[in-house]
Amino acid sequence: MDTLTDDLCYQALKTRDPRFDGRFYTAVLTTGIFCRPICPAVTPKRDNVRFYPSAETAMANGFRPCLRCRPEAAPGSPAAAGVHTTLARAVRLVEEGALDTGTVSDLAERLGITDRYLRQLYKRHTGVNPQQHAQARRLLRARQLLVDSNLSMTEIADIAGFGSLRRFNHTLKETYGDAPTAYRRGLKPIANDAPHTPDAPFLPARDDLVLFLQARSPFDGDQLLTYFRARAIPGLEAVGKQYYARSVSVRGQPGLVICRPQTTPQGVQVILRGPARQAILEVSAQVRRLFDLDADLPGITDHLSQDPLLQPLVAQHPGLRVPGCWDRFEFALRAVLGQQISIAAARTLAGRLVASQGTPLPDELTAGTGITHRFPQPEAIADQPPINIGLPRNRADTLAQVAARFAEPGFAELDGNTLLEQLATLRGIGPWTLNYLALRGLGDPDAFPASDLGILKASAHLGGPTNAKALTHYAERWRPWRAYAAQYLWTSLATHPAREETMS
């Protein structure tokens, strides 16, 4: 734990401070159980506890997850926070199942390093090796699926990566002390199709897979839906008062994912429909990034509220998140389409692109939703003549160049800095596009498009700098959370007419 001492952890444990939920785990020597800092159990004596940065590390050291506070449901993965970018990517790939079907050597090759160096990075920063992390994740996600989903035991064993129901039952009983059925709570099975209401296509129906994802508190789901609603691409996305829905393609299989933010408990109900339902763990990881569920908001807001310019905005929007993206390539094209035009115009162009180059979906999958296509693959655009969707010739050329780069094997998986450096060499990709892509597309918490007209207008309205150079200098005080500062500034424009996130 780079920024937490054992004494600080114990103080947080005694007060059950929710700001530390997911940042560390407490293992109790006398019981062999580890907990989240918000666990309602009686606080153990100081000499009887050990602190670990991740649930995987605690499990690798022989401790069992608590049945009351459920460490597998804690928001975030601190193992990936604040460490080498290569390790952060490795942790993400392992959590998405890279070692369920491949080896550590395969993973290292994807990262462009040796397997020995990968093991060293893992051990140094997480306390466990990649295989231990993968096994712990299987156990943790299996238990999460047992409690928070409507899947059958056989489906959970398969999706969690155990290979067989027998191995699943044996491993969970050996680890937790009871058979999986002892922990089966789950969501109630969907017995009938949803009632005939306007929202019916976006409610759980027969054969849908349903999973709940917990968010760090506080969480403002309405703000995120407002953001997504203004930018929803026709034919690809649909956003209502209580849901965000879109088509997806996972492992070549089509699907419809519906996200319904909730306040009690805080988080997002994920509904996955269609053949892609077997990839629920990959989809849930993408939903977490899309809704920024793992942001340590108390720490971020404590820092940003020290600045008098942002303090009123932080107080006004306590659960504000930075919306992410579903796919890097998709967002790169959205950023290019949004250059120098309004949000509404960019949305229209993106809709034309999806309709002309996207893959149609089967009607039975998306009936009544208005969603008709999957987003185009890079190859579909890179191999075509200039696309006629109403773009200037230069921007159409930029779109094709970006698609050609993403069509190259491994390009989409490059670390963020390298990907941005390579895109910067393309004609038509300037600082605004790169910063916007870093902020939304790559999830960089410190990205800051200072030249954005909306940000400059918000800053001027609040009495701050009025030009990009001065704002860049002023924003140094917001590091390392400038992306959140940008989101507060954009959100402040909601009551003022503005061409948000555009270039002049």
Same domain, 333 and 476: yes
Residue 100 is among the residues annotated as catalytic for this protein: no
Cβ–Cβ contacts within 10 Å for residue 32, how many? 11
Same domain, 408 and 289: no
Between these two residues, 111 and 50, which has the higher pLDDT value? 50
Q: Which of residues 238, 267, 293 is at a domain's end?
A: 293
Task: Please tell me the least confidently modeled range out of 185-189, 259-263, 283-287.
Answer: 185-189
b/e burial code for range 283-301 (CB count within 10 A of at least 16 → b): bbbbbbbbbbbbbbbbebb
Task: Tell me the mean pLDDT in the region 147-157.
Answer: 85
Q: Which of residues 57, 76, 95 is at a domain's end?
A: 76
Residue 35 is among the residues annotated as catalytic for this protein: yes
Same domain, 248 and 155: no
Answer whether residue 303 is part of any domain.
no
Q: Is residue 84 over pLDDT 70? A: no
Answer whether residue 253 is part of any domain.
yes
Same domain, 52 and 93: no
Q: Which of 9, 35, 69, 259 is catalytic?
A: 35
Range of the domain at 154: 79-183
Question: What does the DSSP 8-state code read for residue 498?
Answer: -
Task: Tell me the mean pLDDT in the region 188-200.
Answer: 62
How far apart are the C-alpha atoms of 57 and 130, rounded to whole Å?
A: 11
Q: Is residue 503 over pLDDT 70? A: no
Is the pTM of the predicted complex or chain greater than 0.85?
Answer: no
How far apart are the C-alpha atoms of 276 and 297, rounded to whole Å?
A: 32
Q: Which of 220, 292, 294, 452 is catalytic?
A: 452
Tens digit of each residue's pLDDT (9 = 90 or more) over 174-187: 877 777 877 776 66
Between these two residues, 21 and 435, which has the higher pLDDT value? 435
Same domain, 244 and 145: no
Same domain, 59 and 136: no
Answer whether residue 504 is part of any domain.
no
Answer whether residue 311 is part of any domain.
no
- Tell me the helices (H) and strands (E) count for the chain, helix number first: 23, 11
Same domain, 284 and 347: no
Q: What is the pLDDT of residue 253?
A: 87
Count up the domains in the chain and report the number.
4
How far apart are the C-alpha atoms of 212 and 229, rounded to whole Å?
A: 22
How far apart are the C-alpha atoms of 427 and 274, rounded to whole Å?
A: 39
Q: Is residue 269 over pLDDT 50? A: yes
Q: What is the pLDDT of residue 193?
A: 53
Q: Is residue 168 over pLDDT 90? A: no
CB 84 within 8 A of CB 121: yes
Among 15-19, 158-162, 357-361, name the most confident range: 357-361
Identity at 341, one-letter amino acid code: I
Tens digit of each residue's pLDDT (9 = 90 or more) over 327-373: 999 999 999 998 888 899 999 999 999 999 999 999 888 889 999 99
CATH of the domain at 235: 3.30.310.20
